[in-house]
Chain A
Amino acid sequence: GQQLNQSPQSMFIQEGEDVSMNCTSSSIFNTWLWYKQDPGEGPVLLIALYKAGELTSNGRLTAQFGITRKDSFLNISASIPSDVGIYFCAGQLVGADGLTFGKGTHLIIQP
């Protein structure tokens, strides 16, 4: 099946620091999405991207859809304790219904 390579696997940062994570693939995706998952909960959508080169912000979060349509990054500025969780990228292929998820980036914030 399709693979999304997400990195880093985990991040240990200080509160207030900026965070950056990314996903790459050998396949072209029609749509890129970024989700956050808290313990015991389902993924919650943060940002959806539909066009190559698109840069979208949601508060302190910024994500971009790569020009080649094979990659995306997510930045979080000025991290706060509630940003702790697992962040997943997900892609949707042209004509597909299901999403392909990356393996996640576990964000841990030290006070």
Chain B
Amino acid sequence: EPEVTQTPSHQVTQMGQEVILRCVPISNHLYFYWYRQILGQKVEFLVSFYNNEISEKSEIFDDQFSVERPDGSNFTLKIRSTKLEDSAMYFCASKPQGAVEKLFFGSGTQLSVL
């Protein structure tokens, strides 16, 4: 069964460093998302991406965050200067054209900022 793949599974970084989280969405999907989940809390929407541009972003997704689809398969989330409060599990998700029930999540990247 096709799945959304995220790498790395764990990332440890120093405060102020830049990190790039990588995702390979399901191959025929057109809509791409990043969500995050701080330990023990709810899943929060960050950004959606369609047709090579951001279609929606939350108030969490400030100027420190950016997304890119550098080629036909990867979808990345960059945090320019990490803060302690960026520590969280980051989930990539993708879906084809159609309803939200076709949205699939990856297993996440656990980001720890020290």
Query: Residues of A with Cβ closer than 8 Å to B?
Result: 1, 31, 33, 40-45, 48, 50, 88, 90, 92, 96-104
Contact = CB atoms under 8 A, between A and B. Distances in A.
A102 B45 CA distance: 12
Given A1-B58, A42-B107, A45-B101, A98 B42 contact: no
A56 B79 CA distance: 40
Interface in B54-98: 55-56, 58-59, 91, 93
Contacts, number: 60
B108 interface: yes
Contacts of A44: 105
Which A-B residue pairs are the 3 nearest by beta carbons? A42-B105, A98-B45, A48-B101
A42 B42 contact: no
Interface residues of B, number: 27
Interface of B: 4, 31, 33, 35, 41-48, 50, 55-56, 58-59, 91, 93, 99-101, 103, 105-108
Contacts of A90: 43
Given A92-B100, A97-B55, A42 B93 contact: yes
User: Taking chain A's interface residues, is the majority helix, strand, or loop, or is none over half, making it mixed?
Assistant: loop
Interface centre among A43, A50, A90, by most chain B C-beta atoms within 10 angstroms, is A43
A41 B45 contact: no
A102 B7 CA distance: 26
A92 B56 CA distance: 13
Interface centre among A31, A40, A97, by most chain B C-beta atoms within 10 angstroms, is A97
17 contacts: A1-B58, A33-B100, A33-B101, A41-B107, A41-B108, A42-B93, A42-B108, A43-B91, A45-B101, A48-B100, A48-B101, A88-B42, A88-B43, A98-B56, A98-B58, A99-B43, A103-B42
Contacts of B50: 97
Contacts of A101: 42-45
Nearest to B103: A45
A53 B106 CA distance: 31
